[in-house]
Structure 1
Amino acid sequence: MAAPLSPLPPQFKSLQHHLRTAQEHDKRDPVVAYYCRLYSMQTGMKIDSKSPECRKFLSKLMDQLETQKKQLGDCDSITQEIVGSAHVENYALKMFLYADNEDRSGRFHKNMIKSFYTASLLLDTLTVFGELTEENIQHRKYARWKATYIHNCLKNGVTPESGPVGFEGEEDYNEDDEGTSYASNEAPDRSSSTYQPGNMPTSNFSGIQIPPGAHAPANTPAELPPSAGVASSTVVHPSPQNIPSVDPSLYNAQPQGGTRLTPEDFARAQKYCKYAGSALQYEDVNTAVENLQKALKLLTAGRE
């Protein structure tokens, strides 16, 4: 477990929940803990790297990162960015999926609120690898809004509504008395909803897998029940599409002699499969087929 840091400078208040998430995952999932701290380090450097208290804090945080990196040794999720990105993303989406299924089943409790909010923090963390995809930006906005909305409903004795009813995007956040950051304003007015079907994630996350060495978030089931799925109100009947042609040689593709796949190749193939699953959520057959072809070619030929 990482050594405790010095008191958090006021300038870094926005990072307190990312650092708390890192501490919570030191034993549960050290890779997730490492990238939460790395995100905090990079973001803190942008906020203030000159004042004495901030420099002192960042110096100790850097020491924590170096110690943790040595402890993790040659872990692929640390030495290879694409593997680390897949690890954190899959973990975040697994947590999001748990909370989303609880929400759509009408089970509102502090655990699912924290799962929604923590998922949004971990999606923040993905920015250490580059810009977020539009899909993950939407996941993050929705998770934060949902945590805020349900928290305020329960606080005010109001029964929350399941699903994305009333979703209008991110809100402002303040720290509540439980030490978890949610918006301080009241639950949104659902009569003026700007939600449009197809713009928001649903609980039907095809292709989400927990990477080797990762664990389901605390207090969430390792496997969600088969009945957990998209609420009936979100079901969209597909419209006819022109299915793109598939290279016939891929139907009977087999690994070519001498082809050796690296962990990076496997991680990239996994990402292509995930992208294909996400495309099918939005009935985008062309994108789904394109990504599946890329994954199959990579796995059989060792190249794209």
Structure 2
Amino acid sequence: PPHSRPPPTRAMGEQAKPLLPFLQRGDELQRADPKVAYYCRMFACEEGMRTSDKTPEMRELLSLLVLQLEKTKPSAGLQGAEEDEAYVENFALRLFAKADKLDRGGRRDAKTAKLFYVASIVIETLRQFDVSNGAKHELSDEMAGKQRYAAWRAGELAKANREGRTAAPPPEEGEDESASAARTTGGGGTAGGGAGMDDEYESFLSELTDNLGKGAGVP
């Protein structure tokens, strides 16, 4: 039957990889917070729709994603854009605060790295709100700084964990943390996927396909 198997990851190429972190967060957060999960997927969908010269595989992914958004919308508890933006921002800030507390308390492990990473991804989804003329919403200086710091700190902790060592302590509170992150990362951005991305993508798309069955058309 149509969409019974995911398209090969190699055929998907680079087009879908930037969407993967948002799709994965949507999957992870579905039970804990359906609204945030919905907006993670919506952001991925909108980013995918902006892609020019979509491959057939990208169209298939977007078709499945549109179906998933329709399926999960009733349970997402959506309100107005302003209320939902505040809700998603508060969720991201709580994640950031939790990660920062663990980090400063000496727990510099993979779990803390993941919390920082997820916070950076959720902050990025705030760009879908208050969109005008097709341009993405700019983050406030505060949120942009927290996003840079979260992505940087996630990378620092993850690297130390992979190398079997304890990461250096975070900057003292009150220091310019976002500037420290920008110097280290070359200007910011969210932490990337890295090794294992293809396997993760194939697994994700396979599960999405199994759950949804036939797709809908994508322009």
| 1:173 equivalenced with 2:192 (yes/no) | yes
Contact 2:96-2:119 within 8 A present in 1 as well? yes
User: Which residue in 2 is equivalent to 1:113?
Assistant: 113
Percent identical: 34
| 1:101 equivalenced with 2:101 (yes/no) | yes
Residue 21 of structure 1 and its aligned partner are, at CA, apart by 0.7
Q: Which amino acid aligns with 1:86?
A: A
User: What does 1:69-218 align with in structure 2 at a 5 Å threshold?
Assistant: 69-72=73-76, 75=77, 78-129=78-129, 130-164=137-171, 167=181, 168=183, 169=185, 170=188, 173-177=192-196
Contact 2:41-2:69 within 8 A present in 1 as well? yes
RMSD: 2.5
Contact 2:21-2:193 within 8 A present in 1 as well? no
Task: Determine which structure has more spread, i.e. the larger CA radius of gyration.
Answer: 1
Which shifted more, 21-30 or 5-14? 5-14
Unmatched tracts of structure 1, length 5 or more: 181-304
SS at match of 2:16: helix
User: Which residue in 2 is equivalent to 1:23?
Assistant: 27
| 1:50 equivalenced with 2:44 (yes/no) | no
- For the residues of structure 2 that align with 1:159 and 1:113, how far apart are their CA atoms? 12
Unmatched tracts of structure 2, length 5 or more: 130-136, 173-179, 201-219
* Count of residues paired in the alignment: 173
1:232-260 Cα shifts (integer Å, max 9, x gaps): xxxxxxxxxxxxxxxxxxxxxxxxxxxxx
Q: Which amino acid aligns with 1:38?
A: M
Q: More helix by proportion, 1 or 2?
A: 2
Q: Which amino acid aligns with 2:16?
A: F
Residue 50 of structure 1 and its aligned partner are, at CA, apart by 3.3
What's the TM-score, normalizing by structure 2? Answer: 0.71
Contact 1:49-1:55 within 8 A present in 2 as well? no
- For the residues of structure 2 that align with 1:37 and 1:62, how far apart are their CA atoms? 9
User: Which residue in 1 is equivalent to 2:71?
Assistant: 67
**Of 15, 18, 28, which aligns to 1:14?**
18
Residue 5 of structure 1 and its aligned partner are, at CA, apart by 9.3
1:196-235 Cα shifts (integer Å, max 9, x gaps): xxxxxxxxxxxxxxxxxxxxxxxxxxxxxxxxxxxxxxxx
Residue 127 of structure 1 and its aligned partner are, at CA, apart by 0.7
Contact 1:34-1:68 within 8 A present in 2 as well? yes
- For the residues of structure 2 that align with 1:126 and 1:120, how far apart are their CA atoms? 10
- For the residues of structure 1 that align with 2:42 and 2:164, how far apart are their CA atoms? 39
What's the TM-score, normalizing by structure 1? Answer: 0.52
Q: Which amino acid aligns with 1:21?
A: R
Poorly superposed stretches of 4+, deviation over 6 Å: none
SS at match of 1:86: helix
